[in-house]
C-alpha cells in the first residue's frame, strides 16, 4: 500500500485481511513477493530506495522476524527463478542481487551485472534454465552459476612455478614472475627465471622476458610515475650466486606494454636482492637487502627514461616487506618485527620514527590507519602495533606498542587492502576498513576493523559462544587463539574470531537463546547483527 506505506496479507478466496504491517518512512514499496525457500515461507517487500524488508510467515500466516537490508540505491523488482530445481529470488535494480536460502537463513549474492531493470525465467532447448534480463540498452540471456563458488580458470605455465603477479588496468594485462627448475640435478644453472606478460581477458601470453643466469624474480608492481601518464611494470630480481650467503646483486627492470607487446624501457643494477617494491607518491620504494631505497623516474642522457636513486635508509636485517600511507613507510624485517619510517620532503630523506623492539620473524605487513599497523609472523600469528605519538618522552614515542595479538593458524604471506563483496552505500561494508590476506595453504581471508561499540558487543558474543560451543576433542577456543611462538604464549587480545561469531547462525534456537543471555538484545536482534556483519564481509 502506498497510502500508509504498509504491506497487507489477505486470505484467498475471501480476501479477508490477516495482518497489516507498517514499513515506516516515506519511501513507497515497489515490489512484493511471497516465496518458499527451503520449506520456509517468506514475504519480501522491496522499496523504491533499494531497501528490502523480509518477513517469515509463522503459524496462521502471521508475519514475524521483520528485517531490513540495503541491496541497492534504486527501486527493486522481485522475481523468482529456478537453478538446479532450487527456487531463488532475483532482485533487479542498479545492483542486481540473488536472494537464496542456506541452512534456513536468507543470504544475498551480488550478480556480475551493472544493472538490471527486469528479470524473468527463460527456458528453451538452446538456453535451458536460463534468465532473460532487460537493461536500458539490451536484452541479456544468461544463467546463474552455483552460488558462493569462485570462477576458477587454470592457465598452464609450461612447468614454470608462479612467484609474483601484478595487474595493470590501463593495458588489461597481468605480469607474472615465474621460476623453472631444471630436471638435471648436476646442472649449475638449474633454475631459470621469467617475466611473463598475459592478456587479462584471453590469458594469451603476449611475451616472455628470460632473466639471466642465476637470476631469480623477487617482486613486481604496476604504477605510473610522477609526471608520466604511461603505466609501467617494475620488476625486482636477485642473482642467487652459489656460495653467496645473501645476494650481492640484483636488478630493477622497467617494462611497458604497447599494442599488446612488451618493451624493456630501462634497467638499473641493485646492490642486493630487490625483495619488495611499492609505489610511493609517483616514485618507487624498494627493499634491497638491509636497505630501503627511494627512486624517481627521470630523463636519461639518450633522451629516454631511467631510475635515479633519491634517498636511502639502512639499519634493517633484511627489508622483506613494505607498505605505505601518505609519507609514512612500514617495513617488515626478516626478524626485527615492524619499523615505521617517514619521508621528509624538506631534505629528501627517510628517517625512522618508531619501531617494535621485539624479535619477530615477519611474513607480511600492512597499514590499518594512520597510527595502527598489522603484521603476520612465521608462527602463524597476527599482531597489530600502534604509534605512541602522544607519549611524554622521546623513548616512548620511538616505540611501536603491541595492541593486538591473535593466533590465526595460517602462514600469511600477503596482505592486500580490499573486499570480497561489493560495497553498497548505507551499509556497514561502505565504511568498514577491510584487508584481505592470502596464506601458503591457499586460504583467502578477511580482516575488518570494527568500531568500539561493535567490538565490545561481539566480544561478549564470543565469550558466550565459547561457553555454548565445545571444541572438537575438548580443545579450548581461547587457548587455540592465544598468540604463541617459540618464546612466549600470550592470551589473544583486541581480535574477534569471525568464524566463531558466524557459527551462531548454525546453532539451534535454544542454543542461540543461551548465547543471547546477558547481551541486552533479543534473539532476533542478535541474529540480525551477526547476519549484517556476515553480509558486510563476504
Given a cut of 70, whether residue 235 has pLDDT beyond it is yes
**Domain spans of the chain?**
6-142, 158-314, 454-537
Of 480, 483, 460, whose CA–CA distance to 470 is shortest?
Answer: 480
**What percent of the chain clears pLDDT 90, i.e. is strictly above it?**
62
**Helices 523-537 & 452-468 angle (0-180, nearest 10):** 110
Confidence of residue 427 (pLDDT cuts 50, 70, 90): low
Q: Which of 132-146, 215-229, 316-330, 492-506 has the lowest mean pLDDT?
A: 132-146
Given a cut of 70, whether residue 425 has pLDDT beyond it is no
Burial class of residue 380, CB neighbours in 10 A (0-12, 13-18, 19+): middle
DSSP SS3 for 461: helix
> In sequence order, what E strands does 38-172 have?
40-47, 51-57, 63-70, 77-83, 86-92, 97-102, 105-110, 118-122, 130-134, 139-142, 161-168
How many of the other CB atoms lie within 10 Å of CB of 179? 15
CATH 2.70.70.10 fits 158-314, yes or no: no
Confidence of residue 429 (pLDDT cuts 50, 70, 90): low
- Asked if 380 and 361 touch (Cβ cutoff 8 Å), the reply is no
- Which residues are registered as beta bridge partners of 19? 9
List, for residues 391-417, the tens digit of each pLDDT value: 888 888 899 999 999 999 999 999 999
List, for residues 492-526, the tens digit of each pLDDT value: 999 999 999 999 988 888 899 999 988 888 888 89
List, for residues 460-499, the tens digit of each pLDDT value: 999 999 999 988 888 899 999 999 999 899 999 999 999 9
Given a cut of 90, whether residue 251 has pLDDT beyond it is yes
List, for residues 103-152, the tens digit of each pLDDT value: 777 888 878 787 899 999 898 888 888 899 998 889 999 887 664 455 56
Strand 86-92 versus strand 77-83 pairing type: antiparallel
**What percent of the chain clears pLDDT 70, i.e. is strictly above it?**
96
Confidence of residue 313 (pLDDT cuts 50, 70, 90): very high
- CA 235, CA 241: separation in Å to the nearest integer? 19
pLDDT attached to residue 396: 85
- Asked if 99 and 89 touch (Cβ cutoff 8 Å), the reply is yes
- Asked if 86 and 80 touch (Cβ cutoff 8 Å), the reply is no
pLDDT attached to residue 431: 73
Give the pTM: 0.76
Mean pLDDT of 195-202: 92
Considering the four listed CATH numbers 2.40.50.140, 3.40.1280.30, 2.130.10.10, 1.10.3720.10, the one that applies to the domain covering 6-142 is 2.130.10.10
pLDDT attached to residue 328: 96
CATH architecture label of 454-537? Orthogonal Bundle (1.10)
Confidence of residue 310 (pLDDT cuts 50, 70, 90): very high
Mean pLDDT of 74-86: 89
- SS3 string, 247-316, reads CCCEEEEEEEEECCEEEEEEEEEECCCEEEEEEECCEEEEEECCEEEEEEEEECCCCCEEEEEEEEECCC
Domains 6-142 and 454-537 share a fold: no
- CA 485, CA 495: separation in Å to the nearest integer? 17
Amino acid at each position: 500500500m502506498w497510502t500508509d506505506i504498509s504491506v497487507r496479507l489477505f486470505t484467498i478466496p475471501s480476501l479477508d485481511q490477516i495482518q497489516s504491517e507498517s514499513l515506516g518512512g516515506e519511501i513507497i514499496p515497489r515490489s512484493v513477493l511471497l516465496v518458499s525457500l527451503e520449506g520456509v515461507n517468506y514475504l519480501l517487500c522491496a522499496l523504491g530506495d533499494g531497501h528490502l524488508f523480509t518477513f517469515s510467515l509463522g503459524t496462521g500466516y502471521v508475519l514475524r522476524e521483520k528485517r531490513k537490508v540495503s541491496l541497492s540505491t534504486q527501486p527493486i523488482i522481485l522475481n523468482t527463478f529456478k537453478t538446479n530445481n532450487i527456487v531463488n529470488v532475483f532482485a533487479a535494480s542498479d545492483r542486481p542481487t540473488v536472494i537464496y536460502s542456506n541452512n534456513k537463513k536468507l543470504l544475498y549474492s551480488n550478480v556480475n551485472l551493472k544493472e538490471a531493470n527486469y528479470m524473468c525465467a527463460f527456458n528453451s532447448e538452446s538456453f535451458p534454465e536460463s534468465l532473460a534480463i532487460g537493461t536500458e540498452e539490451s536484452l541479456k540471456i544468461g544463467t546463474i552459476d552455483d552460488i558462493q563458488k569462485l570462477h576458477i580458470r587454470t592457465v598452464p605455465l609450461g612447468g614454470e612455478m608462479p612467484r609474483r603477479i601484478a595487474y595493470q588496468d590501463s593495458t588489461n594485462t597481468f605480469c607474472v614472475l615465474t621460476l623453472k627448475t631444471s630436471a638435471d640435478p648436476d646442472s649449475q644453472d638449474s633454475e631459470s627465471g621469467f617475466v611473463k606478460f598475459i592478456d587479462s581477458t584471453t590469458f594469451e601470453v603476449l611475451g616472455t622476458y628470460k632473466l639471466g643466469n642465476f637470476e631469480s624474480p623477487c617482486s613486481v608492481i604496476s604504477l605510473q610515475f610522477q609526471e608520466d601518464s604511461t603505466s609501467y611494470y617494475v620488476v625486482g630480481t636477485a642473482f642467487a650466486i652459489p656460495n653467496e650467503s645473501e645476494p650481492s646483486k640484483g636488478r630493477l627492470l622497467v617494462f611497458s606494454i604497447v599494442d599488446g607487446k612488451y618493451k624493456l624501457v630501462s634497467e638499473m643494477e641493485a646492490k642486493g636482492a630487490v625483495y619488495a617494491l611499492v609505489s610511493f607518491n609517483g616514485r618507487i620504494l624498494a627493499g634491497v637487502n638491509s636497505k630501503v631505497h627511494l627512486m624517481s623516474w627521470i630523463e636519461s642522457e639518450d633522451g629516454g627514461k631511467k631510475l635515479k636513486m633519491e634517498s636511502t635508509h639502512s639499519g634493517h636485517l633484511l627489508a622483506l616487506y613494505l607498505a605505505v600511507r601518505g609519507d609514512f613507510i612500514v617495513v617488515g624485517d626478516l626478524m626485527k618485527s615492524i619499523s615505521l619510517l617517514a619521508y621528509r620532503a624538506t631534505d629528501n630523506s627517510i628517517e625512522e620514527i618508531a619501531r617494535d623492539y621485539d624479535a619477530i620473524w615477519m611474513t607480511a605487513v600492512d597499514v590499518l590507519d594512520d597510527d595502527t599497523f598489522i603484521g603476520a609472523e612465521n608462527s602463524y600469528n597476527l599482531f597489530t602495533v600502534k604509534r605512541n605519538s602522544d607519549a611524554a618522552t622521546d623513548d616512548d614515542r620511538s616505540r611501536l606498542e603491541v595492541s593486538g595479538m591473535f593466533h590465526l593458524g595460517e602462514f600469511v604471506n600477503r596482505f592486500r587492502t580490499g573486499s570480497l563483496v561489493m560495497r553498497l552505500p548505507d551499509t556497514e561494508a561502505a565504511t568498514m576498513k577491510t584487508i584481505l590476506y592470502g596464506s601458503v595453504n591457499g586460504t583467502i581471508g578477511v580482516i575488518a576493523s570494527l568500531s568500539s561499540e561493535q567490538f565490545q558487543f561481539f566480544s561478549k558474543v564470543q565469550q558466550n559462544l565459547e561457553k555454548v560451543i565445545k571444541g572438537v576433542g575438548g580443545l579450548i577456543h581461547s587457548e587455540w587463539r592465544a598468540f604463541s611462538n617459540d618464546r612466549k604464549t600470550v592470551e589473544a587480545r583486541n581480535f574477534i574470531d569471525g568464524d566463531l561469531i558466524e557459527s551462531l547462525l548454525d546453532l539451534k534456537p535454544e542454543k542461540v537463546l543461551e548465547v543471547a543471555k546477558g547481551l541486552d538484545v533479543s534473539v532476533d536482534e542478535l541474529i540480525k547483527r551477526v547476519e549484517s556483519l556476515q553480509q558486510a564481509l563476504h
